[in-house]
Structure 1
Amino acid sequence: MSFYQFAKNVVKIVLKPKYKVKEMGLENIPKTGGPVIICSNHISNYDPPIVGMTCPRDIYFMAKEELFENKLFGFILRNVHAFPIKRGGMTDRNALRQGLEVLKDGNVLGLFPEGTRSKTGEIKKGLAGAGFFALRSQATIVPCAIIGQYKSKEPLLVVYGSPVEMESLRKNKASAQEVTDVIMNEIKKIQEKHLDL
């Protein structure tokens, strides 16, 4: 068993019952072959392990550089496929290059386009980075909405939506920001559809 799988099992044992996590739309994530970008809203520090736990494939996440300063935590992060990104994001060429390598190798890249957590749960404007990766790769773009409040014993829903249609965006030479805006709109639609469930 890989360290990633071990960590995923631990997260499932600890967080799934505590937050009554339920996932939907897993059929929208290509099971094998080809790169995938999962773009999710961001409401808690628990979002990366929750998305990682519910996704059937291993996910590579960017994590802020400061988190790697602690040797033990840095070791854990690297072994669950996380890699560092400096503040400012789009100016960190190493992180951008590494993200593109993840996709080039046919893996899954997990992104939180808002950049920071939304304290109200309302979806904020996404940063251009998500659009950058979408346009610079042939990845399937899967929007994801985390719905709930991370309150003990209250349901937390993780919904993966239908892949974002990229062909027309490429054809119309959409900018990275325009692509991100489309992705964020899809996440909003998922959230609105399932808020009352």
Structure 2
Amino acid sequence: MNALTTKYPWVKRKRAYWVWLNTVARLIGTICRLKVRGRENIPKEGKVLLVANHRSYLDPPLVAYAVKKRPVFFMAKSELFDTPILGSLIKHWGNAFPVKRGKLDLTALKTALEILNKGELVCIFPEGQRAPKGKFLRGKWGAGMVAIKAGAPIVPCLIEGSEAIIGKERLISGIPKVNVTFGKPFTIDLDDKKENYQRAVDIMMERIKELKSGN
């Protein structure tokens, strides 16, 4: 990862990642009474694209702690890296790299592909933003492009209840309870053409939704 770690030096600090996972992420998971299903569906090695729905700012540490057995790399909106405290935490503890929202960020997508091609696990939230409670947004086609170009096994992930951790939902529902469910890996066999990218991400979102009906 030489070129990558020159640009984002924190992504090679795996020791720091495990410290973060077993302190901050573990604390969040405990407070949220995190329940994990399907962890055995995550390949133990090799490149993996994990795709999840998005409900809360705390989804990344929840997913990382739910995966537990291997490092997870995330896209995070670029504004977070400029936040004094949170930005420092991301750079020193989290396996995250910036993505510019509101437009297609080819640099971020190329970074995701580079990490995948190094045999790592990358988590993408195809919706690109947080969805309201119980709702799903249509995925952005950039996630479909990564899936097709990477050719990696895709693991769908359903997050439920994380919207109640902070904000108005917390006041209404009290102590939150979060469920994270991992589905079986699948692949998308589509030609690498732009017209297939949205089709690919639609397939991924359907696989995520299917996990809800299976609970």
What TM-score do you get using the length of structure 1 for normalisation? 0.88
The within-5 A match list for 1:32-43 is: 32=45, 34-43=46-55
Match of 1:176 in 2: 197
The within-5 A match list for 1:85-164 is: 85-90=99-104, 92-148=105-161, 149-150=164-165, 151=170, 152-164=174-186
The within-5 A match list for 1:43-54 is: 43-54=55-66
Kept after mapping to 2: 8 A contact 1:164/1:183: no
Q: CA deviation at 1:10?
A: 1.2
The 3 A distance-change label for structure 1 pair 89 and 111 is farther
SS in 2 for 1:95: helix
Q: CA deviation at 1:12?
A: 4.1
Q: Structure 1: which 4+ aligned runs deviate by more than 3 Å?
A: 149-154, 169-174
User: What residue identity is the alignment partner of 2:208?
Assistant: I
User: What residue identity is the alignment partner of 2:177?
Assistant: P
CA displacement 1:53-100 (0-9 Å, x = unmatched): 11121111111111111344323213311111112352x222121111
User: What residue identity is the alignment partner of 1:35?
Assistant: K
What TM-score do you get using the length of structure 2 for normalisation? 0.81
**In 1, Cα distance between equivalents of 2:19 and 2:193:** 44
Equivalent residue in structure 2 for 1:23, among 22, 33, 36: 36
1:83 and 2:104 aligned: no
Structure having the higher helix fraction is 2
Structure 1 gaps, min length 5:
none
Match of 1:10 in 2: 23
Count, aligned residues:
191
Report the identity percentage.
36
**In 1, Cα distance between equivalents of 2:26 and 2:50:** 23
Q: CA deviation at 1:22?
A: 0.9
1:191 and 2:203 aligned: no
Structure 2 gaps, min length 5:
1-13
Kept after mapping to 2: 8 A contact 1:131/1:178: yes
